[in-house]
């Protein structure tokens, strides 16, 4: 009998054959969403927040079954209707090669295909047909960023080497823009990086640079060619930024800021919220804030996480945002916490 993981890989392969490639992170605006466990009510209408920012005060994040392995500095993506997390740091500071998969339909966790090597501060991207693991620190320290890219083939369930990043990167952010993978920022050999790379076919090209080089930032995309890079920091926990850059084609421009500067964040996009940044850390503690921006830089404030965290992963599956794992204290700390939030289907709904 096939396991749920094998079924997921087989279904993803079938989607490739029958429907072509789409972004698993980006549900269609009119797609019917699955209810969160114990909360079948529809999403509320947006209200007005302070300072001109819109807010959704009524909906709250729902606690879900914890992951089997508590980790921080994980990579995450939506794939095959499930939430996948890859790599990370253990409580002892060791890099992990674990892949953990949360199935919203059953509210259960399964183990996925082990990574070729343990890694932390990597990025995980779904093209809708394949998963890509990009960069990160190899091993348990912070001295060896890698340029390696590993691609998961749903047909075989095996990881294989893909086109390496132009330079070694860790603590950067990457996302599928509907046609290509876009990777920006991170830590290279000489500190925070600002270059933005795009994987076009089997070749990486440089499309521009962030307005401020930074690491520990988040990325989100609308699946229609637009990519947001949000927040991050230039060094230590006291160098947090709220900067938001927008990538469209080969153009990179700064469009504004999120209200709360922070690094160690995760990101997601949905039609009703725009690009959102989740969690983070500073010298004073971790953040529960969830703040979003649209293509014009207008800010939408969503309900805060139930558990403040940094180094977490985030993704949207069928209209529900998931925030998974991450450290509850600044620096090395871990959790298995998973929360979900139903998102509005469209602005004003």
Question: Is residue 56 predicted with pLDDT exceeding 90?
Answer: no
Is residue 309 assigned to a domain? Answer: yes
pLDDT band at 36 (very low <50, low <70, confident <90, very high): low
Residue 63 structure tokens: 């606690």
| Ramachandran angles phi, psi of 16, nearest 5° | -60, -40
Residue 329 sits at the vertex; the CA angle it makes with 323 and 335, to the nearest 5 degrees, is 45
Is residue 348 assigned to a domain? Answer: no
Instruction: Tell me what the pLDDT averaged over the chain comes to.
Output: 86
Q: How many beta carbons lie within 10 A of that of residue 17, not counting itself?
A: 9
Q: Do the beta carbons of residue 303 and residue 294 sit within 8 Å? A: no
Q: Do the beta carbons of residue 186 and residue 145 sit within 8 Å? A: yes
DSSP conformational letter for 51: G
Is residue 214 assigned to a domain? Answer: yes
Total domains present in the chain: 1
Question: Is residue 24 predicted with pLDDT exceeding 80?
Answer: no
Residue 30 structure tokens: 């009119």
Distance, in Å, from the CA atom of 300 to the CA atom of 258, rounded to the nearest integer, reads 9
Please write the tens of the pLDDT for every residue from 152-161: 988 889 999 9
> In this structure, what CATH number is given to the domain that contains residue 305?
2.120.10.80
Who contacts 105 (Cβ-Cβ below 8 Å, separation ≥6)? Answer: 34, 81
Q: What is the pLDDT of residue 257?
A: 96
Question: Is residue 126 predicted with pLDDT exceeding 90?
Answer: yes
Please write the tens of the pLDDT for every residue from 63-100: 999 999 999 999 999 999 999 999 999 999 999 999 99
Q: What is the pLDDT of residue 149?
A: 98
- Report the pLDDT averaged over residues 197-218: 97
Residue 28: name the closest of 345, 277, 300 by CA.
345
Residue 247 sits at the vertex; the CA angle it makes with 243 and 248, to the nearest 5 degrees, is 150
Residue 175: name the closest of 141, 100, 225 by CA.
225
Is residue 349 assigned to a domain? Answer: no
Helices within 257-327 (DSSP H only)? none
SS3 52: helix
Is residue 158 assigned to a domain? Answer: yes
Is residue 167 assigned to a domain? Answer: yes
Please write the tens of the pLDDT for every residue from 234-286: 999 999 999 999 999 999 999 999 999 999 999 999 999 999 999 999 999 99
Q: How many beta carbons lie within 10 A of that of residue 312, not counting itself?
A: 33
Q: What is the pLDDT of residue 188?
A: 87
Provide the residue range defining the domain that includes 326.
Answer: 4-342
pLDDT band at 39 (very low <50, low <70, confident <90, very high): low
Is residue 347 assigned to a domain? Answer: no
């Amino acid at each position: 009998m096939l396991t749920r993981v094998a079924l997921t890989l087989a279904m993803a392969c079938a989607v490739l054959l029958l429907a072509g490639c789409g972004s698993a992170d980006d549900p269609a605006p009119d797609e019917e969403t699955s209810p969160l466990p114990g909360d079948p009510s529809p999403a509320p209408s947006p209200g007005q927040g302070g300072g001109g920012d819109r807010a959704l005060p009524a909906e709250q994040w729902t606690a879900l079954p914890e992951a089997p392995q508590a980790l921080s500095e994980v990579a995450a993506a939506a794939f095959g209707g499930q939430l996948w997390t890859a790599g990370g740091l253990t409580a002892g500071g060791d890099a992990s090669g674990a892949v953990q998969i949360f199935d919203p339909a059953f509210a259960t966790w399964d183990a996925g295909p082990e990574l070729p090597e343990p890694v932390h501060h990597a990025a995980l991207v779904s093209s809708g047909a394949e998963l890509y693991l990009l960069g990160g620190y190899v091993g348990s320290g912070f001295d060896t960023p890698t340029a390696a890219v590993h691609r998961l083939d749903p047909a075989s369930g095996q990881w294989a080497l893909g086109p390496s990043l132009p330079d070694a990167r860790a603590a950067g952010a990457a996302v599928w823009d509907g046609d290509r993978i876009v990777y920006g920022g991170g830590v290279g050999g000489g500190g925070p990086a600002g270059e933005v790379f795009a994987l076009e076919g089997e070749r990486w090209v440089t499309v521009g640079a962030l307005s401020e080089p930074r690491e520990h930032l988040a990325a989100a995309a609308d699946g229609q060619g637009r990519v947001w890079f949000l927040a991050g920091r230039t060094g230590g926990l006291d160098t947090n930024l709220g900067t938001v850059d927008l990538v469209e084609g080969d153009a990179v421009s700064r469009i504004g800021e999120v209200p709360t500067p922070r690094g160690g964040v995760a990101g997601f996009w949905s039609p009703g919220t725009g690009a959102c940044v989740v969690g983070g850390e500073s010298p004073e503690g971790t953040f529960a804030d969830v703040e979003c921006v649209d293509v014009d830089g207008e800010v939408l404030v969503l309900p805060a996480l139930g558990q403040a965290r940094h180094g977490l992963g985030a993704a949207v599956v069928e209209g529900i945002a998931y925030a998974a794992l991450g450290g509850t204290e600044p620096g090395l700390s871990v959790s298995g916490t998973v929360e979900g939030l139903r998102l509005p289907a469209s602005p004003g709904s």
